[in-house]
């Protein structure tokens, strides 16, 4: 696999963290209006409806949707039913700073999962790149003041974030497995539709458990409807499409470094909403994170 990233691959892998940053902001804004599992179910149900007319190839004879149900069920569980459910749940019990800090370990988890479960060797450049990338995230979280990191305290929500990053690591590596029907794999909408279809079933089961424990409570409003529309179209369909295409080109190990752009974009979005201009530490963080991406993706 060629590790010299093309411009189109860089764009694909950058679009996803931009949209996921918006997802984090929106998820935080509506956390009191929609329970986390319910939010995830509504999000992916809307995405499923949007994908149905686009992914008709999933229903064609020989698509393998039923014959290969174990694979698609697992992709749906990891990428749709687990990852964002846990992150939405984490935002109810932890702070966004802590969640972002714990999630910044994604490159490490991606390398470990790839090494021990998919037999992909870890290169020294990737380790060095991970250190640079995580350092960039720490600069954002500390706002240039390292003493702020000492005040951080881990809570149960941070455990949810760790589980979410591990689930996403397995999902990303599974995308590379070439066990799909060629026609299905060639049609991005159909391939994503199959994952979302199975993922909605998993999300529905989790939501049913949530309703059984706490009851149904959704504070409907037009801002909530707009938030659902955004998280279903942008961070779900568009981001998943870009991530899948980018990972197929660059590999999960390299893609993981781009995920660490998410807290940087989140900080910038928050600054824009609060009317605060970007700070010097944002530029430093960007240099470190991009440096980690560039160093890890070099040949040799």
99-128 per-position pLDDT tens digit: 766 777 888 899 999 999 999 998 888 888
pLDDT of residue 156: 81
Residue 273 has pLDDT above 80, yes or no: no
Q: How far apart are CA 202 and CA 180, in angstroms?
A: 21
Q: What would the two tokens of residue 62 be? A: 């020989």
Compute the average pLDDT of residues 49-53.
96
pLDDT of residue 211: 94
With beta carbons less than 8 A apart as the criterion, state whether 141 and 204 touch: no
Confidence of residue 277 (pLDDT cuts 50, 70, 90): low
Residue 24 — φ and ψ, nearest 5°?
-65, -40
pLDDT of residue 190: 96
Q: How far apart are CA 99 and CA 43, in angstroms?
A: 21
Q: What would the two tokens of residue 53 be? A: 């007319």
Sign of dihedral through CA atoms 288, 289, 293, 296? positive
Confidence of residue 228 (pLDDT cuts 50, 70, 90): very high
160-212 per-position pLDDT tens digit: 988 999 999 999 999 999 899 999 999 999 999 999 999 999 999 999 999 99
C-alpha separations of 83 from 97, 103, 108, 262 in Å: 18, 11, 17, 15
DSSP code for 278: P
Confidence of residue 1 (pLDDT cuts 50, 70, 90): very low
Q: How far apart are CA 241 and CA 244, in angstroms?
A: 5
CB atoms within 10 A of CB 211: 14
Q: What is this structure's pTM?
A: 0.87
Q: How far apart are CA 117 and CA 290, in angstroms?
A: 27
Q: How far apart are CA 122 and CA 64, in angstroms?
A: 33
Residue 62 has pLDDT above 60, yes or no: yes
Q: What would the two tokens of residue 95 be? A: 């702070």
């Amino acid at each position: 696999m060629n590790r010299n990233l093309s411009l189109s691959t860089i764009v694909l892998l950058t679009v996803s963290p931009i949209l996921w940053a918006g997802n984090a902001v929106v998820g935080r804004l509506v956390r009191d209006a929609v329970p986390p599992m319910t939010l995830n179910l509504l999000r992916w149900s809307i995405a499923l409806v949007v994908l149905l007319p686009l992914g008709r190839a999933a229903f064609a004879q020989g698509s393998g949707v039923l014959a290969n149900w174990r694979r698609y069920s697992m992709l749906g569980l990891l990428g749709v039913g687990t990852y964002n459910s846990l992150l939405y749940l984490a935002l109810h019990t932890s702070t966004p700073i802590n969640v972002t800090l714990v999630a910044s370990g994604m490159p490490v988890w991606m390398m470990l999962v790839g090494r021990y479960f998919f037999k992909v060797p870890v290169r020294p450049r990737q380790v060095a790149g991970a250190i640079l990338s995580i350092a960039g995230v720490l600069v954002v979280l500390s706002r240039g003041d390292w003493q702020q990191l000492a005040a951080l305290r881990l809570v149960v929500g941070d455990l949810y974030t760790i589980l979410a990053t591990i689930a996403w690591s397995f999902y990303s590596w599974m995308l590379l497995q070439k066990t799909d029907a060629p026609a299905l794999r060639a049609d991005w909408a159909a391939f994503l539709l199959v994952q979302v279809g199975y993922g909605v079933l998993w999300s529905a089961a989790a939501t049913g458990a949530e309703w059984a424990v706490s009851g149904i409570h959704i504070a409907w409003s037009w801002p909530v409807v707009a938030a659902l529309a955004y998280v279903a179209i942008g961070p779900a369909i568009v981001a998943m499409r870009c991530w899948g295409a980018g990972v197929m080109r660059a590999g999960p190990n390299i893609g993981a470094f781009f995920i660490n752009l998410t807290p940087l974009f989140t900080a910038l979005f928050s600054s824009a909403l609060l009317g605060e201009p970007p700070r010097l530490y944002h530029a430093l963080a960007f240099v470190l994170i991009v440096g980690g991406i560039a160093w890890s993706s070099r040949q040799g």
